Chain A
Amino acid sequence: MAKKESTLLNMVLTLLVVTAVASTALGFVYEFTKGPIAAAREAKRISAIEQVLPEFDNNPGSEVKALAMDGDSVYLYTGRKDGEWVGTAVQTFSKQGFSGYIWLMVGFLPDGTIHNIVVLEHKETPGLGDKMEQEKSFDKKTGKSWSSQFFGKHPDNFQLMVTKDGGDVDAITASTISSRAYCDAVNRAYQAFKEGGNQ
């Protein structure tokens, strides 16, 4: 065991040195990783936007519009190619999930047709509600996921409700609640799109 006698001076000095060294090291690591961390954070959103919109060449992150809806915010990201509006990605949510918030990124073509949908975050049960994620319900044979049924549909003529409630959406097996929440979120996205998405 370290048998160094403790005096106030050597204690204070030791600690000072240790903390200084530690914090300097940390500072450097932080500086070093700052960029990559920010990039990693951004990458997630960008990749979602990339997935749900047709090809674009602007930075949608720079054209954000926030709309307050139902006690939270919905964000609209506009995508352009060669300056032309190719669609709007709407970051939307629903509170009706089986366990808490569900965050989606819904991509609309300028005419309001749903292009693609990506789930950003949810806490639904693995094996049940999480089938709303594309990769979780991907069927190799058909090449489709559960959410494929939304793609290319226009909310004006595709009832965004589960069939049980008289809509056009086939619910995930045994997860009507999650499906309903999903529809709710897409619906909210569409409302937001109608309100602020048109250029």
Chain B
Amino acid sequence: MNQWKNFSKGFIRENAVFVLFLGLCPTLGVTSTAINGLGMGLATTFVLFMSNIVVSLIKSLIPNKVRIPTYIVVIASFVTIVELTMQAYLPTLFEQLGLFIPLIVVNCVILGRAEAFASKNNLLTSAIDGLGMGLGFAFALTLLGAVREILGSGSLFGLKFIAGDGILLFILPPGAFLALGYLIVIMNKIKEKTT
């Protein structure tokens, strides 16, 4: 497989959020600002990348029937690692993301990739797939975060560019749904145009 294609598919064509509609809970839950979205996205990317590597490495050693539990353990371990390191070195971000860091475990994207991709492909391909899908996920989260932040508080990555407040609704829960809804429509249009 063309590795570049393999890597880039996660951004638009097979984007986990906009196209496959996976991992929606964190997508909505943490994207009140772009930086949160990016943080969450990168954390997920890390887990996805690492677990894809590990799964791909050990795939031939795992008896078929304990596949899923093994994957869960692997993924959960990486999640815990992320959790602990974030807590230690990025405490503010950790607080913002809160519940959704442990919930990376159940993010369908990760297990789905492990099961459907890494368990069938070689190390490099799996790693690149993990990286691509993860960064695509991060891209989606950052984009949504950016949109919400720009509309909601008139700033981007914390830099304010309008005086006063934005449209508050967008940083509140309803805004997450609305912004994502319209983003999906726009992304669909883009996808249609490009393919």
Contact = CB atoms under 8 A, between A and B. Distances in A.
- Determine direct contact between A and B, CB below 8 Å: yes
A39 B153 CA distance: 32
B68 to A, nearest CB: 11
Given A26-B77, A44-B91, A3 B84 contact: no
A126 B91 contact: no
Contacts of B91: 37, 40-41, 43-44
A11 B63 contact: yes
B69 A15 contact: yes
B77 A14 contact: no
Interface in A22-53: 22-23, 25-26, 29-30, 33, 35-37, 39-41, 43-44
A1 B62 contact: no
Q: Is the interface of B mostly helix, strand, loop or mixed?
A: helix
A68 interface: no
Contacts, number: 90
Contact of B61 (A4, A6, A19): A4
Interface residues of A, number: 32
Contacts of A14: 61-63, 66, 70
B60 interface: yes
Interface residues of B, number: 34
A2 B74 contact: no
Which of A5, A33, A35: most chain B Cβ within 10 A?
A33
Nearest to B67: A2
Q: Closest 9 A-B residue pairs measured CB to CB?
A: A36-B88, A6-B63, A127-B165, A6-B65, A40-B91, A22-B77, A33-B88, A33-B84, A37-B88
Interface of B: 32, 58-67, 69-70, 73-74, 76-77, 80-81, 84-85, 87-89, 91, 119-120, 152-153, 165-166, 168, 171-172
Interface of A: 1-7, 10-11, 14-15, 18-19, 22-23, 25-26, 29-30, 33, 35-37, 39-41, 43-44, 125-128
24 contacts: A1-B119, A2-B59, A2-B60, A2-B61, A2-B62, A2-B67, A2-B119, A4-B61, A6-B64, A6-B65, A11-B63, A14-B62, A14-B63, A15-B73, A18-B70, A23-B77, A25-B77, A33-B87, A33-B88, A40-B88, A40-B91, A41-B91, A126-B153, A126-B172
